[in-house]
Amino acid sequence: MMRVEGLTTAEQTEAAARSQLYRLLANGFAFPDRAFFAALGNGSYRREVEETAQALPYALDCTPDGLGASGQYVDFQAEYLRLFEAAMGMPPCPLYSGLYRGGRKAVMEELTRFYNFFGLSVEQGAGELPDHLTMELEFMHFLTFKELVAVHGGGDPAPYRRAQGDFLERQLTSWLPKLEERLERLSPPPFYAALASLTSALTHLEHAYVRELTSAVLEGT
């Protein structure tokens, strides 16, 4: 896990919180293992989301109610498979942005260019495809962490903030409302309904926030 020690300013703390929240949301949309299910059951995942959200530079109006789970792991796992990974044909609620935006090949090519520009690559056959939601959230985790490193080290965070704004506008905010709407029709477990709502709300707030930051920089030049 990427870390920066010795955060001393509000700007650093806020960037760290934003980066951590993207990582937490990415973990939520990954296939749930037993350790993650245990974190939902004992409330530690929800507490970490709540504590992280408190350090954000804006008010996140979507509360983390529902960010837990009960019952049996095998049933929770089966619900993930039912919603997101149907064995035959199209899943009821796919987590691939290219299936919502149209022209999936072009979407994946655009995403790959984003990743490659920052020195990242998606190895063929390893991990998820470029347009999977976990990949897109992990990329935002990476960009906000690079912003934090720049702020912490006295560098220029503006390039990373501009990249965040572009990625949010062109990718996440363009299709997450559609995912949330589709998921609502499928009677999902409370955890996934809450997670989708929280993620959509966060990305729209983030888009407004980074656009404000980059506009302020341009006006000051």
**What's the mean pLDDT when you consider all of the chain?**
91
193-211: per-residue pLDDT in tens? Answer: 999 999 999 999 999 999 9
Q: What is the pLDDT of residue 125?
A: 43
Q: What is the pTM for the complete model shown?
A: 0.93
CATH number of 10-220: 1.10.3480.10
167-180: per-residue pLDDT in tens? Answer: 999 999 999 999 99
Long-range contacts of 92-95 (CB under 8 A, 24+ apart): 92/182, 92/186, 93/179, 93/182, 93/183, 93/186, 93/188, 95/29, 95/132, 95/133, 95/134, 95/179
